[in-house]
Structure 1
């Protein structure tokens, strides 16, 4: 049985890589059409922020339940279910951009995406262990590659005059072959004995040093979420640039994330997660300052690129550290870090939208920069203590 499982590992690695890529494409698809969805719904920044909050609530509801499912059923089966559910929920979002169904569609999208985030990281950590080498940053690099590709394609879709339902429908059709192949992939997932005996808490709460690991994920995910949800509108509303070029900032941010994440496993193997996280925090802060300066479009895009380099490896490092936590079960630890990290990715942008409505979106990104200062001081928690 052991040899059979080992034989499945290379194929499963490519399937999980493809799932990460597709999951990132959900984000890029969404980010590229945010101004159009906001306009179709007839909302200002605060109103749209409330819709983002609905999505965040969906994800928050998913985290503790998914951690329990991963411990009881295994990461691979849960990933398969929520890969299909997430694709379907984003199709629903695209079909309801200006109807009362948009809010429940966003809740379902947040729930399924949040569940998939926990489960696919769990499956990725199993493949790391089975193959005996670090892979988490490369998985997340493909997530960023998918996000950047979908955002770039979104710019072409806008130029071509594709409606939101047609754009989202074409994307879903392209996803169907991967959904089928993922469902058929064989894999024996680890099951936690503790997961069979304990009840899922209302919230997944990190313990010990994992609290600081979760805060690293929180700050990194907030920066990524801010660029995803507000970078385009910041360029249009605060800086006065055309909507057709506004997705470019997110695209170059994603390209930088891809470059750094695909190199991250080797860099971390050489220098260790703690020094890499400290340097990454400084780089992310400098990128934020360039981005909020708004001197010209090239400086703004340069800032987005530097931010991408800085934030890139922080969330994968945090999730990898959670999966190997010596205190909590894998499902519970991943859910706990995701509660802080991915919760910030969804809850943070709505709050930034309120700041943008009261002051400006530039002030929102400045707040992100100030939080990034904490990263070098939190990085010590990434070291696993036996």
Structure 2
């Protein structure tokens, strides 16, 4: 019974973690405008946020080993809420830079610890449930982005929007903090920690590249879709967050149904079709024929990208030539690296050419996914 209750708690924190992403994505145009930075300059701010997350990874691993995943997740959930509130209230660009580093650090640490807690609950229940956690994460991101559109429509400033969101989150954080969960006993294998920056080998190189391409596509839509609609296509700022909302909705739909689809058709065919679908969505987004085509492109991209990262992680866990920890670490490093550091690079491309060209780069990388899919097959 405790594990079932813990599943609800972990589901809630995944959902809340998604709202951090949606909140941030919906107000990126306003925050960028307030700084007066171009795409390259704002890309540097995104890079600072990414660096904060990467710095957090080894620290969080140490804290989880000593204190347990649940206590660390509880602390970092509150820290992430506070740091994002600080982002919304930052009055100057230097202070914004500092708060973005803190937000990246706390968010990156929360991502690691909540996945650790989710894995403990999954073990207790003896059945796979991680996909549903990530589906709720996407649901939270989409709803928060949609709320961001309403906040813009009603004229809320960034500071007012972030403050209102923090006030609404506080009761949940109090409830979340009070939920019990026993610290997992330290297994003998935990003393042999997988290296933080492990390098994939053999077929896992292709699997890692698949995770990279999928994560880059997701990061591109998160950070640049709204600005692309405003600056390149000339659409209203109030409706720009809708693209990320429909993308997240598609991710939710596919992630919640992905396990059944993969079980029926197999990982390789699903990955190949997913790559083709994601590429078609990229082409629609790039075309910019009208706002409906842009939104449809984002929705189709969400359907295509949704299961690729989970498939890559599953393949890494079953690799027969590397230990599970090292294999997972190597693939996760490429995936998280692309999600965190890819958007700033796309910002530099957008500044040199246009954000349409940036999404063209994403489309070219997506085109490689059907060819990388065969690496998902586990060979004896």
Does the pair score TM above 0.5? yes
State yes or no: 1:252 paired with 2:246: yes
Q: Is contact 2:196–2:333 with CA below 8 Å preserved after alignment?
A: no
Q: Tell me how far apart the structure 1 counterparts of residues 346 and 20 of structure 2 sit (CA, whole Å).
A: 21
SS across alignment from 2:236: coil
For residue 227 of structure 1, report the CA deviation from its aligned partner. Answer: 0.5
What are the Cα deviations for residues 179-233 of structure 1, in whole angstroms up to 9, with x where unaligned? 23333231443534344366x8563544555444332222111101101111011
Matched-pair contact (CA < 8 Å) for 1:194–1:329? no
Cα distance in 2 between the residues matched to 1:29 and 1:355: 25
Question: Given the alignment, which residue of 2, 6, 11 partners 1:12?
Answer: 6
Summarize deviations over 1:350-384 as a string: whole Å, max 9, x none: 11111111111011001001111222233344456
Shift of 1:334: 5.0
CA distance in 2 between counterparts of 1:104 and 1:259 reads: 36
Structure 1 pair 339/301, CA: closer, same or farther in 2 (3 Å)?
Answer: same
Distance 1:237 1:283 in 2: 26
- How many residues align structurally? 378
Relative distance call for 1:190 and 1:333 in structure 2 (3 A) is farther
The question of 1:269 aligning with 2:273 is answered no
Rounded Cα–Cα distance in structure 2 between residues aligned with 1:202 and 1:121: 16
Note closer, same or farther for the CA distance 1:228–1:377 as it changes in structure 2 (3 Å cut). same
The residue number in structure 1 matching 2:18 is 24
- The structural deviation recorded for 1:176 is 2.0
- Gaps in structure 1 of 5+ consecutive residues: 1-6
What runs of 5+ residues in structure 2 fail to find an aligned partner?
none
How far apart are residue 346 of structure 1 and its match? 1.6
Contact 2:250 2:303 in 1 (8 A): yes
Task: After TM superposition, list the pairs within 5 Å mapping 1:168-247 onto structure 2.
Answer: 168-183=162-177, 184-189=179-184, 191-196=186-191, 201=195, 203-206=197-200, 209-247=203-241
State which of 37, 50, 54 in structure 2 corresponds to 1:56. Answer: 50
Residue 58 of structure 1: how far off its partner (Å): 1.0
> Once superposed, what is the RMSD of the aligned Cα atoms?
2.3
Question: Structure 1 residues 173 and 211 mapped into 2: Cα distance closer, same or farther (>3 Å)?
Answer: farther
| Residues 64, 335 of structure 1: 8 Å contact kept | no
Partner Cα distance (1:207, 1:84) in 2: 38
Write the mapping of 1:121-200 to structure 2, written as runs, cut at 5 A. 121-183=115-177, 184-189=179-184, 191-196=186-191
Q: CA deviation at 1:311?
A: 0.6
CA distance in 1, matches of 2:207, 2:117: 20
Match among 354, 360, 369 for residue 366 of structure 1: 360
User: CA–CA distance in 1 between the matches of 2:136 and 2:234?
Assistant: 32
Distance in 2 (CA, whole Å) between partners of 1:208 and 1:70 is: 30
> What SS does the aligned partner of 1:231 have?
helix
- 1:46-100 alpha-carbon deviations (Å, 9 max, x no partner): 1101100101111122223334444554433332232222222111111115342
SS at match of 2:94: coil
The residue aligned with 2:102 is: 108
Q: Name the counterpart of 1:350.
A: 344
CA 353–88 in structure 1, closer or farther in 2 if over 3 Å, else same: same
CA separation of 1:115 and 1:211: change in aligned 2, threshold 3 A: farther
> If the length of structure 1 is used for normalisation, what is the TM-score?
0.90
Which secondary structure does the structure 2 equivalent of 1:33 belong to?
helix
2:196 touches 2:329 (CA, 8 Å); kept in 1? no
Match of 1:3 in 2: none
The two structures have a TM-score, normalised by structure 2, of 0.91
